[in-house]
Structure 1
Amino acid sequence: MLSYRHCFHAGNHADVLKHSVQSLIIESLKEKEKRFFYLDTHAGAGRYQLGSEHAERTPEYLQGIAKIWQADDLPAEIIPYLNAVRALNQGKKLRYYPGSPLIAQHLLRSGDKMHLTELHPGDYKLLRNELSKNEHAKVQRVDGYQQLKAKLPPLSRRGFILMDPSYEIKDDYQRVVKNIEEGYRRFATGIYALWYPVVLRQQIKKMMGQLKDTGITHILQIELGVLPDSDRYGMTASGMIVINPPWKLEQQMAILLPWLRQVLVPAGYGHILLKWLVPE
């Protein structure tokens, strides 16, 4: 299935959480001089026009990045992410939103390698055009999961793998765990960040149990909810599972999560979660 288009959801609360975590991980990796490899298995189109017909049909960004854009007293932990958004927008008007590939491109150093995959034909073409001038980036229209076998371990032995499947079908929740396990067997010291939506809480509980059963350790769970859990259709929360997180990520998110909840979540709703799913 290739019906999912992220342009309808770009810049929403889930993107804010996902890309904040992504930015902090990249910044941590840059603290060491040695170069590293960045793999984005479900990269999307790269750039999203917030005033487009798609975005305006479901203007979720108004409850996401738009609130961050207007916020005062910004914590230091949000700045790398926000700077990547600012790089696409001249002046004070918020017109474009960067997907994970453009955030990575903004933050990575010239010697760091990027490998991006996207199966949707339209999004692949847009992504390829966005990255066409970046000699350190390779864009392919292939199954991103297969790259966990083809590209790992990287020659540098330092790497960050971002996994952001669409979860169009229920099997995605189990498939992603299987592929993380496959990647981890090949590259156990890499940093893996998996985004997940909370539509039905039972699906998430099942996926967390399966992650524990893999035997992988050092797994941090980060979650931001904007509405109470429900059995009705629609995402009420989203989260990031980070395997081998940088040592200070937990402390950074302990500061950032309460701030995000204050800015993004209506009073009386939502939740934040920061815990070790499996300790080191």
Structure 2
Amino acid sequence: MPAQIATAATDPARIVAFQGAPGAYSHLACREALPDMVPLPCATFEDAFAAVREGRAACGLIPIENSTAGRVADIHQLLPEGGLYITAEHFLRVRHQLLAPKAASLKIIKRVYSHVQALSQCRRVIKDLGIEPIVSTDTAGSAKDVAERNNPEEAAIASSIAGELYGLQVLRGDIEDNHTNTTRFIKLERQRRDPDPQQGNSLTAIMFRVRSVPAALYKALGGFATNGVNVVKLESYLSEGFQVAEFYAEIEGHPAQRNVDLALQELEYFSRSLKVIGVFTAHPFRSAR
């Protein structure tokens, strides 16, 4: 299947924005999660948010956390003011490929280029092959550069889609040390698209700031315990010059359910601000673990 890229003539209703160069893992996630959409590469996360907000793309697919590297911090800063809503999630198993020009082989490559995290996640193969790791800005850019130089002594660590785009062969596939390495993506749209509360398996994403009083967070979260609502994710970060603690949370359930509604009411009482930034169906990956 060709690795399509959106152009100016592509209908915006068919476009999904992602951050990164063509061939990035986010590009691969778009193809997996939204195969009928045409990916639009964006230089920054801000650009991807803007493409959706301004109607140049119907949605965006953005990484929010990785099982090895942790959370993608920039996203939590963009979500409160981004004006977009989470409408779905997708989990991508990160499979690193050792890519090289057609004339290369495992016996003659001497150097491998990639993002620092990709190199660190493939230490075992790099050591076994005795090749020099060289840090580059990103995985897809490394593949593009290796293809352009066409030096059989050079290789790149990148996604399978990068190999397709830049005409590189896979010298060795799935070379990551940790074969459970997974990145979680969120789909962002301009409008909330709450699933049917009767279907179950809903998640609600919220952002809130607690009041500056003793035990405010303890009291705010107490409503989830008394109403039987499971908090599956809670992260904090400082804003307003390190003066205000802001929180991102995901809870099981739908705001239309009475226990969730009551828990949110109690949270709002103890908070300076509260915003629901998405209600979506849990991905099957969660139940498969």
Give the TM-score normalised by structure 1: 0.25
**Structure with a larger share of its residues in helix:** 1
Question: Based on CA coordinates, which of the two structures has the bigger radius of gyration?
Answer: 2
Give the alignment's TM-score, normalised by structure 2.
Answer: 0.24
